[in-house]
Structure 1
Amino acid sequence: MNHFPIHGPFVAFLGLLCLVPPGAVAISWLLAPRTQGAEKRTTYESGIEPVGEAWIQFSVRYYMYALVFVIFDVETMFLYPWAVVFDRVGALALLEVCLFLFILLIGLVYAWRKGALEWL
């Protein structure tokens, strides 16, 4: 009599976890070309020959824009599960989410006034 039926799939998954990544690395190593010609060492980007230096310094505004995007992306990640269980969590959870959104709104207004959302 098997008291723990979940062990079978778990062990199978663990076995795949231990075999697939090393197997993929071994297959890619076996199939990789052995020649190191000039074409292989060139930089490739969208089929166009690279022009100029690869090291370009970006304006800090791009980083601020990306940071604001990530903040609101994480907000979406937090709001989606809450919306799924909205009918079971009650009115207090609604107030908590409204507070959460208000704090994010304050951050958005601050970033907007500081010019972090201006794309120049």
Structure 2
Amino acid sequence: MYILILAFLIASVISALLLTLSSLLSKKSFLDQEKSSPFECGFDPKNTSRIPFSIRFFLIAIIFLIFDIEISILLPLGIISGSLDPVSWLLVGGTFLGLVTLGLYYEWVDQTLSWIT
């Protein structure tokens, strides 16, 4: 038991020494402050951090993610096509594609996909 405690203390002391030594010898300076600040699409985050963005862009990005996930769900369906009977394979794939197509139709009718406001 004492050996474990001694090993833990030695590891802690070595880790603390290495952290202290690396922070003292690092070449970071205040000149690198601009380099380490976040850069976001050309906007200066210090002055205009809360500017509004287009909600249409956000909705189109969400729709893109949904259809991207749809593809990743449909890919295994092609891999398992040999192990399922064709009727259940078509039923599962057709139901999934039908639901996604209904969602796309709803987005089209709701004019979320329209770039023109």
CA distance in 2, matches of 1:73, 1:49: 29
Give the paired residue count.
91
- TM-score of the superposed pair, with normalisation by structure 2: 0.62
Farther off after superposition, 58-67 or 69-78: 58-67
Task: Give, in whole Å, the separation in 2 of the partners of 1:118 and 1:83.
Answer: 32
Provide the identity percentage.
Answer: 25
Where do 4+ consecutive residues of structure 1 move more than 6 Å?
none
- 2:14 is aligned to none
Q: Deviations over 1:26-56 (max 9, x none)?
A: 7xx668532122x52364649x784962322
Q: Which position in structure 2 is the counterpart of 1:109?
A: 105
Determine the C-alpha separation between the residues in 2 that align with 1:97 and 1:90: 12
> In structure 1, what is the Cα distance between the partners aligned to 2:89 and 2:27?
58
**Is the aligned partner of 1:82 residue 2:77?**
yes
Rate the CA distance shift 1:62–1:49 in 2: closer, same or farther, 3 A: closer
Match of residue 40 from structure 1: 33
Does 61-70 or 96-105 show the bigger shift? 61-70
Q: Which runs of 5+ in 2 are unaligned?
A: 1-18
Residues 1-120 of structure 1: pairs in structure 2 closer than 5 A:
33-37=27-31, 39-41=32-34, 43=37, 45=39, 50=44, 53-91=48-86, 92-120=88-116
Q: Which runs of 5+ in 1 are unaligned?
A: 1-25
Per the normalisation by structure 1, the TM-score is 0.60
Which residue of structure 2 aligns with residue 22 of structure 1?
Answer: none
